[in-house]
Every structure is written in C-alpha cells, then in structure tokens.
Amino acid sequence: MNIKKSILTLGAAGLTLTALAAATAKLPPAATKTGVTYATDIKPIFEASCVKCHGAEKPKAKLRMDSLEAVLKGSKEGKIVKPGNSAESLLVKSVAHTTEDDEQWMPPLGNKAGIKKLTPEQIGLIRAWIDQGAK
Ligand code: HEC
C-alpha cells in the first residue's frame, strides 16, 4: 500500500465531505410539519414566486411549476426534485442559493418582476415536502 497516495486520497475525500457538509449546512432545516403536500402547502408558494416564469406560457428552461406532475417531470435539463432527498434536489439548491452557478438561483437575482427570495421557512416547507416523498 502506497502511504503517500493513501494520505492524498483520504485528504481529497475529507475535502469533498467538508464541501458537501458546508453546502448542506447552508440549507435551512426541513420544517417539522408532517403530511406536507403540493396541493395544500407548496402550490401557493410556487404560485406567488415561480409560476410567473414557470407557467403555461413560454416556461423558462421548459420548467412548469403550476402542477405537481409538471414539477416532478422537471425542466429541459431533467428532474429538479429527488423525492425523499431534498438536500440533493436542484429545486432546493436553487431557492437556497447553494448551486455553484448563480444563474440557477431562483427567483433570479434582480428579476424585473420584483419577486423576492423565498424565506427560510418557505424553503424548510419545500424540504419537508420533498423529504416526505413529494406527494
Ligand atoms: C423572473 C423569472 C423567473 C422566476 C420568477 C423564477 N424563475 Fe426559475 N428560471 C428562470 C430562468 C430564466 C431560468 C433559466 C436559467 C438558465 O438556464 O440559465 C430558470 C431556471 C430554473 C431552474 C433550473 C432548471 C434546470 O434544470 O437548469 C429551476 C430549478 C428553477 N428555475 C426554479 C424556480 C423556482 C423554484 C422559482 C420560484 C421560487 C423560480 N424558478 C422562479 C426564470 C425565473
């Protein structure tokens, strides 16, 4: 066993874990509410902050957020929700501003519609919804 190589590998794994932990730590915690559903809890948030650009008419990134089916289907790039894993869902990273690319921060910074960043409580509710299976 090459000791130098092992130390390097361990070091790299450690850095990766640290980076992952840091990104997850930046996410607001999931809400403790149980039985969270799209229809009752999530749709109103998306309607107020997302559907202007992700609705029926020319949806940005071909992503519609005006129905549960559409959100689960995702964008032209693919899925944005991993049911059961909110921390790894692009939807959550984009509203929490933890993606590397700030073009994915949603709603876009300085958007003309004047739509503001979601509150930590709203992000926590979205996390709870996804962690509970995105029903
Ligand atoms: C003012 C318009 C606007 C609003 C409001 C908006 N978006 Fe977006 N959204 C965009 C644009 C434009 C893109 C494409 C960005 C790009 O690809 O560079 C995008 C892309 C995305 C993507 C990335 C899709 C992919 O696969 O790359 C996600 C996820 C997303 N939006 C979620 C949301 C959520 C959630 C909200 C509400 C909290 C929201 N957006 C509100 C304009 C908007």
Q: Is the CB of 71 under 6 A from ligand 1?
A: no
Model confidence, pTM:
0.87
Residue 32 burial class via C-beta count within 10 angstroms: exposed 0-12, middle 13-18, buried 19 and up:
exposed
* pLDDT for 26: 85
Q: What is the pLDDT along the chain (135 residues), one digit of tens a residue?
A: 676 777 667 667 766 666 666 666 689 999 999 999 999 999 999 999 999 999 999 999 999 999 999 999 999 999 999 999 999 999 999 999 999 999 999 999 999 999 999 999 999 999 999 999 999
CA distance 132 to 135: 8
**CA of 15 relative to ligand 1 center, distance in Å:** 30
Taking the CA of residue 118 as reference, the ligand 1 atom at the shortest distance is 38
Atom 23 of ligand 1: nearest residue by CA position: 104
